[in-house]
């Protein structure tokens, strides 16, 4: 029957009240029954039995129903069966209050467990709630509010200050500030400029902005985050899988032992007549044994611990794709970094341009910009940005612009069909522009096509993009990148976690990579690597069984290495879709220091899980022995069982705030990034 309340909060309150009503009724009747029994008010035969049965039914019927359904599914041994046998057995030997109490406190424990699981899922529900239900689309010069699912690619949407972005798109406004906390956990606003991507879930903070939609609703960044976190619950950690297998064996063994507690003394009494066997006493001990052996604390608290860890990580912009990866990251002792966009900002600036073409620097820039027009690599973005500024200054060579139409980045080029571009992985780009063959990339690209160039260019320490036109060297650009503000902190934090084997793999020049490694305090750095070179290096690391390797990258070229590593970590805020899909962990903030946070959350989760395992087994073992020896009653058994379960659940919930506590320490040490830019899609000298 549906809820007829006038608002959601009233419905929720009524549902909560109805949830606890059976337990309240049973508790009141149990207390009244104990009082009446104390004063001898149960004078009619069977009156006590009837009273306690009525007290038992509100909490007992749902459990009995679950037990019967389990039997129909051929699940003979589960917690519902244990509780049903124990409580019915208590009634059979006249221990009515104990029978009601066992089921009552078990029921209360179940409600607490449900609340704990609900709290662990709260963050996911919050994410679901932030997806806007409407989008303001501009059609035929007019604004119209429609469902975001109905917005087509290429349409323009408008977001007012304070509103959430409903769909991923490219910013058309010159500049705007966005609150990205829903996606990254980062409270500091991020400034985006025209042409940069804005993601669903961000909040426009300072002005009305317009975006050109480039992804459908179901493929937006926020939708992908939700899918990742929700799917994570299906990937179980080894401890969870072990408990599941253990419970299947443990429960029937416990039932068998309970039977033996009654059967063995009976058989012994047949052999030894002097041994006084009292069936009700030994059955009572068996029932105590059954109650305390219920595996609730393990079955609930362990998955809850991992789910809490996943939730804690997601609140600080770290997405684990499953509890198994949360567990795996605790074993990492080797961390290998990609360079561009991972340890560096991936925001290049053109420092110098040298041309041997008749049209000088402007002609060279025009050719390279034409080749790079469809690339999303940070080097390409830097070149196009520089070309845009160059064009606006009125000095861009006009031969390439004659009779042309605007292409990407604002650079005037021949129509797109004449700008044929071929990507050569790890080398650069080959393009046909105005009928001329243009090569733009690293020195390997020119060597591959047997184009001679000045040997002195190989000595330049910074990133260089060489260009050839129709098989002849045309000139080069020099670009520079900077380390991310928290890159040093990331390395320092990893070393504090006793992870000393830290390496860099890069397609960039060895000198550039070595200089960065020295600056960050990394001893091993390898440059001039093609994608297959990174794979071979990773295979060599994996060949040593002592190494548990995490690879951190963001580009398309990183996908094979991410898949090969024990734990693949992608810089995922604006990184390559291929890298994000392949990785096991996604760092939404693009901050390498969050890797140490991820490891800490993983270790804290694992520690809490094993605390719960030790607590449950320790207490249960002691009380099981006491129950078998007749030194523990059903009251003690039920309090021990429910108490251990509640302590384990509360312990598991502790992980929920762990991420934010450690994040506050890190941001205090490193400072927040006020304006982080898009990460790279691959190494700077890989395919640009």
Coil/strand/helix, residue 356: coil
Neighbouring CB atoms inside 10 A of 464's CB total 22
Q: How far apart are CA 219 and CA 231, in angstroms?
A: 15
Q: How far apart are CA 207 and CA 198, in angstroms?
A: 14
How far is residue 228 CA from its own chain's centroid? 7
- DSSP letter for each residue of 49-99: HHHHHHHHHHHHHHHHHHHHHHHHTT--SSHHHHHHHHHHHHHHTT-HHHH
Q: How far apart are CA 517 and CA 466, in angstroms?
A: 25
481: part of which helix (H) or strand (E)?
Answer: none
Q: How many residues does the chain have?
A: 688
C-beta separation of 426 from 686 below 8 A:
yes
How far is residue 325 CA from its own chain's centroid? 9
In terms of Cβ atoms closer than 10 Å to its own Cβ (0-12, 13-18, 19+), residue 506 is buried
Q: How far apart are CA 348 and CA 684, in angstroms?
A: 9
Q: How far apart are CA 41 and CA 36, in angstroms?
A: 5
Handedness of CA 373, 424, 588, 595 (dihedral sign): negative
Helices (H), ranges, 469-628 = 487-496, 510-520, 531-542, 559-564, 577-582, 594-628
2: part of which helix (H) or strand (E)?
Answer: none
Give the start-end residues of each E strand in 506-634. Answer: 524-526, 549-553, 567-571, 585-587
If we measure between CA atoms, which residue out of 648, 688, 674, 630 comes closest to residue 187?
A: 674
Active site (annotated) includes residue 327 = no
In terms of Cβ atoms closer than 10 Å to its own Cβ (0-12, 13-18, 19+), residue 309 is buried
In terms of Cβ atoms closer than 10 Å to its own Cβ (0-12, 13-18, 19+), residue 176 is buried
Handedness of CA 446, 452, 453, 459 (dihedral sign): positive
Kind of pairing, strands 405-406 and 585-587? unpaired
Q: How far apart are CA 522 and CA 506, in angstroms?
A: 14
Coil/strand/helix, residue 414: coil
Coil/strand/helix, residue 682: coil
Neighbouring CB atoms inside 10 A of 48's CB total 18
DSSP state of 330: G
Coil/strand/helix, residue 222: helix
436, β-bridge pairs: 433
569, β-bridge pairs: 552, 585
In Å, how far are 191, 264, 276 from 268, measured between CA atoms? Answer: 82, 6, 10
Among 168, 327, 338, 566, the one annotated catalytic: 338
Coil/strand/helix, residue 122: helix
In terms of Cβ atoms closer than 10 Å to its own Cβ (0-12, 13-18, 19+), residue 576 is buried
Q: Which residues are catalytic?
A: 338
């Amino acid at each position: 029957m549906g809820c007829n309340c006038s608002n959601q909060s009233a419905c929720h309150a009524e549902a909560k009240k109805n949830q606890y009503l059976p337990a309240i009724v049973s508790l009141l009747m149990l207390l009244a029954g104990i009082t009446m029994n104390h004063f001898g008010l149960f004078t009619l035969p069977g009156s006590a039995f009837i009273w306690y049965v009525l007290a038992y039914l509100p909490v007992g019927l749902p459990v009995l129903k679950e037990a019967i359904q389990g039997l129909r599914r051929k699940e003979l041994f589960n917690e519902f069966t244990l509780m049903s046998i124990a409580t019915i057995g208590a009634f059979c030997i006249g221990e009515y209050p104990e029978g009601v109490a066992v089921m009552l406190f078990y029921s209360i424990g179940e409600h607490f467990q449900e609340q704990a699981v609900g709290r662990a899922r709260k963050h996911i529900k919050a994410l679901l709630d932030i997806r806007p239900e409407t989008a303001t689309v501009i059609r035929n010069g007019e604004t119209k509010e429609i469902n975001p699912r109905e917005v087509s690619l290429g349409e323009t949407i408008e977001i007012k200050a304070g509103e959430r972005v409903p769909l991923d798109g490219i910013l058309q406004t010159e500049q705007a500030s966005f609150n990205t906390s829903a996606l990254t956990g980062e409270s500091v606003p991020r400034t985006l400029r025209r042409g940069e991507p804005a993601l669903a879930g961000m909040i426009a903070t300072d002005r009305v902005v317009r975006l050109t939609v480039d992804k459908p609703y179901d493929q937006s960044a926020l939708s992908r985050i939700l899918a990742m976190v929700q799917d994570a619950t299906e990937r179980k950690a080894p401890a969870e899988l072990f408990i599941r297998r253990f419970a299947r064996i443990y429960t029937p063994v416990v039932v068998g032992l309970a039977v033996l507690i009654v059967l063995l003394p009976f058989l012994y009494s047949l052999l030894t007549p002097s041994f006084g066997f009292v069936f009700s006493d030994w059955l009572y001990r068996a029932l105590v044994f059954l109650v305390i052996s219920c595996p609730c604390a393990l079955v609930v608290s362990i998955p809850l611990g991992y789910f809490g860890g996943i939730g804690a990580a997601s609140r600080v912009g770290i997405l684990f794709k499953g509890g198994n990866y949360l567990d795996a990251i605790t074993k990492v002792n080797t961390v290998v970094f990609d360079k561009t966009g991972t340890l560096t900002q991936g925001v290049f600036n053109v420092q110098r341009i040298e041309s041997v073409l008749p049209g000088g620097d402007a002609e060279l820039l025009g050719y390279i910009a034409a080749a790079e027009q469809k690339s999303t690599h940070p080097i390409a973005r830097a070149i196009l940005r520089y070309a845009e500024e160059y064009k606006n200054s009125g000095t861009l060579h006009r031969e390439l612009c004659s009779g042309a139409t605007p292409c990407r980045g604002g650079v005037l080029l021949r129509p797109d069909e004449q700008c044929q571009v071929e990507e050569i992985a790890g080398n650069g780009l080959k393009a046909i522009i105005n009928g001329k063959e243009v090569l733009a990339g690293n020195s390997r690209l020119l060597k591959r096509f047997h184009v001679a160039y000045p040997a002195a260019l190989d000595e330049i320490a910074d990133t260089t993009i060489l260009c050839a036109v129709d098989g002849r060297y045309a000139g080069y650009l020099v670009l520079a990148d900077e380390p991310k503000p928290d890159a040093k902190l990331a390395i320092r934090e990893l070393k504090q976690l006793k992870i000393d084997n830290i390496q860099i793999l890069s397609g960039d020049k060895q000198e550039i990579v070595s200089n960065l490694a020295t600056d960050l305090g990394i001893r091993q750095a390898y440059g001039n690597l093609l994608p297959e070179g990174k794979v071979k290096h990773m295979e060599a690391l994996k060949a040593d069984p002592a190494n548990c390797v995490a690879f951190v990258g963001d580009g398309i070229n990183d996908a094979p290495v991410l898949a090969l590593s024990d734990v693949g970590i992608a810089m995922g805020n604006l990184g390559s879709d291929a890298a994000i899909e392949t990785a096991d962990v996604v760092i939404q903030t693009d901050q390498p220091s969050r890797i140490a946070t991820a490891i800490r959350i993983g270790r804290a989760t694992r520690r809490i899980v094993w605390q719960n395992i030790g607590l449950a087994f320790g207490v249960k073992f002691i009380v099981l022995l006491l129950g078998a020896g007749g030194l523990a009653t059903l009251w003690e058994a039920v309090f021990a069982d429910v108490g251990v379960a509640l302590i384990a659940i509360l312990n598991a919930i502790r992980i929920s705030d762990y991420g934010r506590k450690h994040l506050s320490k890190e941001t205090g040490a490193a400072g927040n990034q006020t304006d982080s830019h898009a990460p790279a899609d691959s190494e700077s000298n890989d395919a640009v």
